[in-house]
Structure 1
Amino acid sequence: MEHFISINQLSSDKIMQLLDSASSFQKNSPTFSKQIFAANLFFEPSTRTKMSFIVAQKKLGLEILDFQADFSSLLKGESLYDTVKTFESIGADVAVIRHEADDWITELSTGINIPIINAGAGKAEHPTQCMLDLLTLYQEFGSFENVKVVIVGDIIHSRVAKSNALALQRLGAKVYLSAAPGYEDNSLDFPYVTIDEAVKLCDALMLLRIQHERHDTQYKTMDYLENYGLTKQRENAMRNHAIILHPAPINRGVEIEDELVECSRSRIFKQMSNGVYVRMAILNHVLKEWGISK
């Protein structure tokens, strides 16, 4: 694995290996003995992903090279390639990148000589989020085989939906999608159900926010919760063991009723905690593969 770019590049065995590593890091965190520099290049806003990468890097003993796009040479016309090449040249050993383009990795496909970790690519993929979601589900059910997961919300604009649906299917889960009209993604070959069907059949309900920043026109959310979101009434119809997931940020009162965000079914903040250890496992793996650490 040269770079960590797509969940699709990983075999099922490799996914499980990384999940096992993340679980072990929750109990015992390794620390690199040599000085290693990590560059966090976030070209889009981020709270959970960026901060959990920073915590993961600090737990591993890495030195962090921060980057602020609004105060960088991007404003002078510098390309993504030249920005990454600059960090490589001044001593970065690994680059963690989030960018609004779906295919930014193609610009870096040649000429970059440090490992790259995809921290979010436009509407295309979010593989580290997928890994932490998988860890949360695995902790809950002990297996993916025949676990019914319904991904609900703005499917067409969601990189999370794309990464998760395909990975879960490969691992043996039963994946369904649910979306308001116009939010479907017909490139994903999974059955669609209504939100009322979803809550009754799911083992895990994965909610997504409406990604207004990716819409050409502003979607009115006044009746969204009632028609397409998780209300208390719908939560009452869920199976006793079923859980609620959300990659966040959460729009309370839009895709989920406020009081359900931290209810007994919710694993939303557990997902965030798991993100630190999954990202530790990924950093550890790519740095070892490149021979940067032992």
Structure 2
Amino acid sequence: MHDLQLAAGGRLRHLITLAGMPRATIERLLERAEAMRRDSQGGARPLDLLDGRTLINLFFEPSTRTRTSFDLAAQRLGALVINFDIERSSTVKGESLLDTIHTLEAMHCDAFVVRHKESGTPETIARNLRSNAAVLNAGDGNHAHPTQGLLDALTLRRRVEDFSKLSIVICGDIRHSRVARSDVDVLRTLGVRDLRLCAPPELLPQSDAAEFAQCSFVHTLDQAIVDCDAAIMLRLQKERMEAAAIPSEADYFARYGLDAARLARAKPGCVVMHPGPINRNVEIADEVADGAQSLILEQVSNGVFARMAVLAELLERR
């Protein structure tokens, strides 16, 4: 994957995964995201770094936050954005995905933002391009969601100086979560040593899963959250699991939901994060989701700047 994502000199060529990405590259993207925030005056001032570039959003799964923030990020950088309508395209007539990509390439598009239910689809597209277009993974199956990992790291980075001193718990449907995998990748690369995964046994990955090798597995949130600096809560991905994989929502919340009492077991000021969409009072209580320690809406805001940084890195003319 290293040869696919990085061009000569270490410049980003595609963004498929954060696994194995050099720390210097990640830190450069995070620094650039902060520069985008500053230069755009928090998003109020448009920039023209990508004037004349064309980006196509190819979303084969529903999305609110990711699709909208990619759209805003590209537009604020001056690019033309096409939101490809899958249901009204020739894919419903049987056209293959790669034939669709090659057709769009022939129209001189510069980047494809791809979300797909099948793991590996963005990589397949990137390896079969016939042009110099860039591919950005907006979430593929349970494999990766790299821009979510970057925006989560950006959100934490604005509050901490040393990632190595953090204790972080990720709680929820980890087995089916591409967000969990990208968060683990980026947090490990940035130096987090105490990274705890918490879920019912049915929703934890296999204990020998290489991508989680340096994480600790904890089966109760009451134990996992003790003395944590951050809690990243994940939704139950019912569309990716068998119906019998979890107890009722009420039982799940009683054991794994984050409420004020459980949050009090963490360090004072422990921040709460969630990639959305939230299932309120299933994985997180209203009082916590809307509370003073919640960074959930800040994550959404940071997503625009993180994606601006990635798009500029990939598409800015030099």
Is the Cα–Cα contact under 8 Å of residues 168 and 229 in structure 2 kept in the other structure?
yes
On the 8 A contact 2:114/2:122 being kept in 1, the answer is: no
Alignment correspondent of 2:17? 6
User: Residue in 2 aligned with 1:46?
Assistant: 63
Alpha-carbon distance in 1 for matches of 2:51, 2:254: 54
Count how many residue pairs are aligned between Structure 1 and Structure 2.
Answer: 290
1:32 to 27, 35, 49: 49
2:29 to 13, 18, 26: 18
Q: Which residue of 1 aligns with 2:232?
A: 206
Structure 1 unmatched ranges of 5 or more: none
* Residue identity matched to 1:154: D
**Corresponding residue for residue 284 of structure 1:** 312
Q: Could you say which residue in structure 2 is the equivalent of 1:74?
A: 91
Assess if the C-alpha contact under 8 Å between 1:80 and 1:107 holds in 2. Answer: no
216, 232, 242: which is aligned to 1:191?
A: 216
Report what 2:253 is aligned to.
225
One-letter amino acid matched to 1:216: E
SS at match of 1:8: coil
* Closer, same or farther: CA 33–25 of 1 in aligned 2, 3 Å: closer
RMSD after superposition: 1.4
Quote how far apart the aligned CAs of 1:112 are: 3.7
Task: Kindly provide the amino acid, as one letter, of the partner of residue 273 in structure 2.
Answer: L
Residue of structure 1 aligned with 2:181, choices 162, 175, 180: 162
Q: CA deviation at 1:60?
A: 0.2
Tell me by how many angstroms 1:136 deviates: 0.5
Give me the whole-angstrom Cα distance separating, in 2, the residues matched to 1:22 and 1:35: 21
Q: State the TM-score, normalizing by the size of structure 2.
A: 0.88
- Deviation, structure 1 residue 9: 4.5
The answer on 1:141 being equivalent to 2:160 is yes
Instruction: Report the Cα distance in structure 1 between the residues aligned to 2:254 and 2:81, rounded to whole angstroms.
Output: 44
SS in 2 for 1:21: helix
Alpha-carbon offset, residue 233 of structure 1: 1.2
For residues 165 and 140 of structure 2, the distance between their equivalents in structure 1, rounded to whole angstroms, comes to: 29
Give ranges in structure 2 of 5+ residues lacking alignment.
1-5, 7-12, 41-46
**What is the match of residue 121 of structure 1?**
140
Q: What is the one-letter code of the residue matched to 2:128?
A: T
* 1:182 paired residue number: 202
Q: Which amino acid aligns with 1:196?
A: D
> What amino acid is aligned across from residue 248 of structure 1 in structure 2?
G
2:227 and 2:265 in contact (8 A); partners too: no
Asked if the contact 1:39–1:65 (Cα under 8 Å) also holds between the matched residues in 2, the reply is: yes
Deviations 1:42-85, CA, capped at 9 Å, x for gaps: 00000000000011011001111111211111111112211222
Candidates 81, 90, 97, aligned match of 1:64: 81
Alpha-carbon separation, structure 2, partners of 1:163 and 1:244: 17
Q: Distance in 1 between matches of 2:152 and 2:283?
A: 18
- Contact between 1:228 and 1:255, CA under 8 Å: does it hold in 2? yes
Q: For residue 50 of structure 1, give the secondary structure of its aligned residue in structure 2.
A: helix
CA gap 1:269/1:106 in 2 versus in 1, 3 angstroms: closer
TM-score of the superposition, structure 1-length normalised? 0.95
Residue aligned with 2:196, SS: strand
1:216 CA drift (Å): 2.5
Once the two structures are TM-superposed, the CA of residue 88 in structure 1 deviates from its matched residue by 1.3
1:243-282 alignment, distance < 5 Å: 243-282=271-310
Matched residue type, 1:3: H
Query: For residue 172 of structure 2, what is the aligned residue in structure 1?
Result: 153
- What SS does the aligned partner of 2:32 have? helix
- Partner Cα distance (1:8, 1:286) in 2: 18
Deviation at 1:111, TM superposition (A): 3.1
- How far has the Cα of 1:175 moved from its partner? 1.0
Query: C-alpha distance in 2, partners of 1:221/1:34?
Result: 48
